[in-house]
Amino acid sequence: SNLNKYVYANIDYIMGKNGQNQSFIVGFGAKNPLHPHHRNVYLSDANVGNTGQQGLIIPAKNQQFGYMVGGVRSGTYADQITNYQTSEGGIDYNAGLVGALAYINSVVSPVINGLAESQSNNNSISVFPNPSSDGFNIQSIAVYNVRIHNELGNTLQDFNTSSVHSFGANLQPGLYHAVFSEDGKIIKTINVLKQ
């Protein structure tokens, strides 16, 4: 699937690919917000007034790395505590940021799920029947190391195979991943469903 360029361009802008090279995420980039409008991060409930607020320093343990502030659409961003219109952040801003980053990650680095085989030019390996209520057979023309992983990524079986090999009779019902490797390099992953 192709990445939505509109989402990508907006995330780039938020992360600092703009006319000022200004990131709007605390702790991200060389030029990022240092004075977000959020009283509790300063560990001070003192009402110091607008003139004293800019001098407050956020303790390191409270710096809220990843906290996105409102920013500006155009013009110059003023990193000032008192300018809540541009330096305020919140859960509503950050929820959208996390969602957009998750979308980008899902397109750039998709996670294997379901029964579809991974993309591979190696058609010399097959697993059948799939799905199965008993065990599975692997047919291959070369010797491969095979690791069977559960959904949590735990290795349940590890064996070498060539020609035809049976496995999985003792597996509980569920989705498993048969990962084939040669000389330590993964060459194919096949998802198998034990019914």
Instruction: Name the residues annotated as catalytic.
Output: 37, 79, 88
* Residues 136 and 129 sit within 8 Å (Cβ to Cβ): yes
Token digits of residue 91: 């859960």
Instruction: List phi, psi (to 5°) of 106.
Output: -65, -30
3-class secondary-structure state, position 87? helix
Beta bridge partners of 125: 140
Amino acid at 157: Q
Angle subtended at Cα 144 by Cα 138 and Cα 147, rounded to the nearest 5 degrees: 75
3-class secondary-structure state, position 154? coil
- Taking the C-alpha atoms of residue 116 and residue 81, their distance in angstroms, rounded to an integer, is 51
What DSSP assignment string belongs to 67-132? PBB---SSS-----TT-HHHH-B-HHHHHHHHHHHHHHHHHHSPPP-SSPPPP-S--SEEEESSSB
* Residues 191 and 119 sit within 8 Å (Cβ to Cβ): no
